[in-house]
């Protein structure tokens, strides 16, 4: 894995860790800055987001969704292109249809 992609993955994991009590604006901003820093970073971030969205921990899921929301506003068209791919949208559909979705995540 590319070292920059690895750092991005680690930062996303830190931002969405089950040990976080609430979103950390500084870490969220750092993630968005890193996603926007290079042309290949939006695509690299999607793999990390999908990994986090597959977790069964409600806190991780909520933090990941909040980080995705912030990235959607802050990271522009290259990121929008990645979150509109069939694979990513399929993963979001899977999340919505989960039978054992944690109660604190249900809509």
Q: Residue 106: what pLDDT? A: 55
pTM as predicted: 0.89
Kindly list the distances between the CA atom of residue 16 and the CA atoms of 28, 60, 63, in Å, as whole numbers in the listed order. Answer: 9, 5, 5
Q: Give the separation between CA 16 and CA 47, rounded to whole angstroms.
A: 14
Burial of 104 (0-12, 13-18, 19+ CB in 10 A): exposed
Q: Residue 1: what pLDDT? A: 65
Tokens, residue 8: 């991005």
Share of the chain above pLDDT 70, in %: 93
Q: Residue 95: what pLDDT? A: 80
Q: Residue 101: what pLDDT? A: 66
Where residue 22 falls (left for φ over 0; alpha for ψ -120 to 50; beta otherwise) is beta
Q: Residue 7: what pLDDT? A: 96
DSSP strands (E only) in the chain:
none
Where residue 76 falls (left for φ over 0; alpha for ψ -120 to 50; beta otherwise) is left
**pLDDT tens per residue across span 33-46:** 999 999 999 999 99
Average pLDDT on 56-83 reads: 94
End-to-end CA distance of the chain: 35
Q: Give the separation between CA 5 and CA 8, rounded to whole angstroms.
A: 5
């Amino acid at each position: 894995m590319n070292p920059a992609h690895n750092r991005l993955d680690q930062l996303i994991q830190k931002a969405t860790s089950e040990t976080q009590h609430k979103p950390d604006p500084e870490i969220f901003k750092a993630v968005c800055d890193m996603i926007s820093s290079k042309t290949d970073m939006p695509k690299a971030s999607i793999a990390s987001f999908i990994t986090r969205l597959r977790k069964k921990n409600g806190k991780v899921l909520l933090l990941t969704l909040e980080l995705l929301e912030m990235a959607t506003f802050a990271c522009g068209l290259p990121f929008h292109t990645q979150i509109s791919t069939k694979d990513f949208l399929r993963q979001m559909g899977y999340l919505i249809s989960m039978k054992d979705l944690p109660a604190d995540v249900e809509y």
